[in-house]
Amino acid sequence: MSRKIPGPSACLVLSSLKQFKENPLAVMLDGQRRYGDVVAFRFGTMSFHFISHPRDLQHVLQSNQKNYSRQTPGYEAMRIVLGNGLVTSDGEFWLRQRRISQPAFHRQRVAGFAQVMVDAALETAARWETEVGTGKPLDVAAEMMRLTLKIVGLTLMSTDVSAASSEVGQAVGVSLHELQSRIYAPYLHLPMQVPTISNRRLRAAVKTVDGVVLGMIAQRRNAVEEGSDFLGMLMEARDEDTGETMSDAQLRDELLTLFMAGHETTANALAWTWYLLSVNPAVRARLEGEVEKVLGKRPPSFADLPALAYSRMVVSESMRLYPPAWVLSRCAIKGDEIGGFPIKAGSVVFMSPFVTQRREDLWDNPEGFDPQRFDPGAPKPRPFAYFPFGGGGHQCIGAEFAMMEAQLIVVALLQRCRLNLVSGHPVELEPLITLRPKHGMRMLYFPREAAGAGARV
């Protein structure tokens, strides 16, 4: 007799759905702690299986990944905005696009963008010094969005789009909320061709971001010289087997995927990192000491990163507690078995780095902020106990780019200022497509010269 997957009873289905929409992180955490490694959630006629043990994650994302597609409600919703890019595509088409795109993310090419990242961070610090003022509040979450948008524009398309940061940021925010609504309640939304208020709002948001991306593709097609940015690399890239390049439509999907993911996820990781440094002064003091010892007053460079090991440890630990991509989903193509339980063909399986990276059987003091977990000399977490960038063949292609960017930004800004959480500011998780701070991140700005007793209040 096949084992029944444990989970909330049928009488709790409606309340489970309501709770899941209101606080999916709490529901998943509670589900794992109450029911174990594999949990069944039934929402109306739909059944979802939540898995959180590294053994089972590795099975789905790596060893048996061919049996698990991205044909899920979550990815279906994201295709409305991102099209068929690397994040949303599957199968042979995904493999072809991955092969074409991979050379653009070669370590040496990524390293070439380090100076762009540092310069953008220094410009941000200079603007804060003149516009904000010592001891004055600013929304660090919004500021990180503006900074990473500038960087993604320069590295992807050699264009500074930070002047449009407010407009683009609003469009991205609208897109995230609209997509989340479609994931949780697809039956409430008519096809995009129908001009409902919601559909018009989402189409307008996509049009705003498309305007930036498609404009850059058209401009580059007409340029005399080839670019050395990601767009140039993607336009030049060819499939090793067929020699094919990307069409404009596919360039749009891939570039928009990188544009959206490349600033949204890193900005959220940075916002949570500044929060954690503010409420963990001992960690911040150690990080400041490392930065001063390695760099003195000169800006960081790519060559400095190996010596700035603690900064990478801090960012890694921040992404353990607050992974920007907090949930993944797959659909079983054929029947399977996970953790000793039967999984029917067509079943949706979802996973959460947020939950697995807080499991008490995998991490000591899992709710604590302890960068020492990621000391190069410490034992490494078992495979798939830590997976903020996903895992297996579909692991994020820009993982090293994102880590380098976050590390350089933290170091460059930490040299010049200290950011302290505004007393009483509500810090609440907002799990949309990405994990945002719901109320922004209001922090007080102190230039390093003023970062004395007054900056520690």
Domain ranges of the chain: 10-456
254 vs 372 pLDDT, higher one = 372
Residue 422, pLDDT > 90, answer: yes
* Structure confidence at residue 11 (pLDDT): 47
Residue 13, pLDDT > 70, answer: no
* Structure confidence at residue 183 (pLDDT): 79
Furthest-apart CA atoms within the chain: distance in Å: 70
What is residue 59's DSSP assignment?
I
Residue 456, pLDDT > 70, answer: no
Q: Worst-scoring range by mean pLDDT, 22-26, 101-105, 382-386, 396-400?
A: 101-105
Average pLDDT over residues 262-267: 91
Structure tokens at 398: 């820009």
Confidence of residue 452 (pLDDT cuts 50, 70, 90): very low
322 vs 165 pLDDT, higher one = 322
* Structure confidence at residue 121 (pLDDT): 97
Average pLDDT over residues 128-142: 92
Confidence of residue 455 (pLDDT cuts 50, 70, 90): very low
State how far the alpha carbon of 439 is from the alpha carbons of 104, 395, 427, 430, in Å: 36, 30, 7, 9
Q: Worst-scoring range by mean pLDDT, 6-20, 188-202, 247-261, 267-281?
A: 6-20
Residue 26, pLDDT > 80, answer: yes
331 vs 164 pLDDT, higher one = 331
Is residue 28 within 8 Å of residue 50, measured between CB atoms?
yes
Is residue 369 within 8 Å of residue 319, measured between CB atoms?
no
* Total Cβ atoms within 10 A of residue 242: 10
Closest CA to 331 of 120, 125, 75: 75
Is residue 145 within 8 Å of residue 409, measured between CB atoms?
no
State how far the Cα of 380 lies from the Cα of 294, in Å rounded to an integer. 25
CATH architecture of 10-456: Orthogonal Bundle (1.10)
Task: Please state the pTM of the whole predicted model.
Answer: 0.92
Confidence of residue 227 (pLDDT cuts 50, 70, 90): low
| Ranges assigned E (strand) in 262-325 | none
What is residue 370's DSSP assignment?
-
Average pLDDT over residues 38-47: 79
* Structure confidence at residue 453 (pLDDT): 39
Confidence of residue 187 (pLDDT cuts 50, 70, 90): low
Closest CA to 444 of 264, 275, 272: 275
Structure tokens at 334: 């054929």
Residue 220, pLDDT > 80, answer: no
State how far the Cα of 408 lies from the Cα of 402, in Å rounded to an integer. 10
* Structure confidence at residue 190 (pLDDT): 76
Structure tokens at 76: 């279906």
Confidence of residue 330 (pLDDT cuts 50, 70, 90): very high
Q: Worst-scoring range by mean pLDDT, 64-68, 164-168, 255-259?
A: 164-168
Average pLDDT over residues 171-175: 86
* Structure confidence at residue 358 (pLDDT): 98
Average pLDDT over residues 289-300: 96
- As a whole-number percent, the residues of the chain with pLDDT over 70 amount to 93
Residue 387, pLDDT > 80, answer: yes
Confidence of residue 1 (pLDDT cuts 50, 70, 90): very low
Tokens 């074409």: give the residue: 100
The top-scoring range by mean pLDDT among 29-43, 163-177, 201-215, 306-320 is 306-320
239 vs 55 pLDDT, higher one = 55
Structure tokens at 304: 């400095």
Instruction: Specify which residues 253 forms β-bridges with.
Output: none
